[in-house]
Structure formats: C-alpha cells, structure tokens
Amino acid sequence: ARTQRGGGFTADELRTALQMDDAAAEAAIDELVQQGALTTLTPGKYLDTERADALLQSVLEALAAFHAESPLQVGAPKAHIQAQVPSAAPDLLQWLLNTLHSRGLVAPERGAWRLHTHSVTLSPEHEAAVARLLRASQDAGLSAPSRDEALALLGGPQSRPLLEIALQRGELVAVGDFI
C-alpha cells in the first residue's frame, strides 16, 4: 500500500492505487466515504479518516500547548501551528482549521487561531501594571511615553503582551513610537 502524503490523495491517485477502471474506482471511493473510511477534503481530494481525526487532534493539542505557554496571546499564528503539525501540507492545515472552526472548537482572531475556550484574562498584578501605565500616560499630558518607556512601566520587554492588550482594548493609542 502506498503511504498517504501530507495533503491527502486525489481521486486520480486513488484510482491508480486501486487499479480499477474509472467507474469501479469512483464507486469504491464513494463507498469508502459513505462507510467513513475516507474523508472528503475538497471535491476529488480525500484523506484516510483515522489520519484526519489524528491531525485534528494534533491541531487542538498544539493550540492548547500554545495557550498554556502564552496565555496573554490571543491565539497562535498559523505558522506556529504548521510547525507543530508539520505532516499536514498547508492546504490540509487550512482544511483542519476550517473543520475545527465549523465544529465550534477553534476560532480565528486577529490573524491567529485560538481554542474556542481561550480568552485572555489579566491577573490582578497585570491589571495593576496596566493601570500604572494609564496613570503615567495621563499624567504625562502631551509628553507621551515611548514604547520602551511604556514597557519599562509595565515591567520590561517581557510585558509586550500587556502593552498590546491595552492598545487592543483602546485604553491607549499608539502614535508612531509613542503611547
């Protein structure tokens, strides 16, 4: 048996592998789809259902690990997910994400993907740091702090996600390199 590639099989590849004429191969493919052994990715493109299920689970696990490591990030960039599920060709990864989205398990957000259950929640310490930055920004009047000064007020460069959250919430506005 031939090993399945990272993007699945086309109907023509399956016909060749099955060594059947077009009509018999088409009937066999339809039967395998109806039995649940093959999953249709797009018209004329198929993937073994067990492999599809395993890849769907791998994407969910990759997102869960990302959220555990980066809880202040809204989601994982698609390139990060691709790196975690390298056996899925880019078009297959998009199918996986779309399928999980249609099942309500993941959601696209601001150019990234997140588990449906994930939301960014700031700890009381983080909220206090953002409040300090807001007070400092208001106290500065027309002398707005630079990004580096804002990051220093938040706790240093590792606090960049906090600054992004404050900007996304509309609590601060970036004008060039100033906040």
What digits encode the pLDDT tens for the residues 147-178?
888 888 888 877 888 888 888 888 888 888 88
Reference 173, options 164, 104, 89, 24; nearest CA is 164
Query: How confident is the model at residue 3, as a pLDDT?
Result: 43
What digits encode the pLDDT tens for the residues 58-103?
999 999 999 999 888 889 999 999 999 998 999 999 999 999 999 9
The answer to whether residues 78 and 97 touch, using CB atoms and an 8 Å cutoff, is: yes
Cα 142 to its chain centre, rounded Å, is 39
- The predicted model scores a pTM of 0.73
First to last CA, the chain: 60
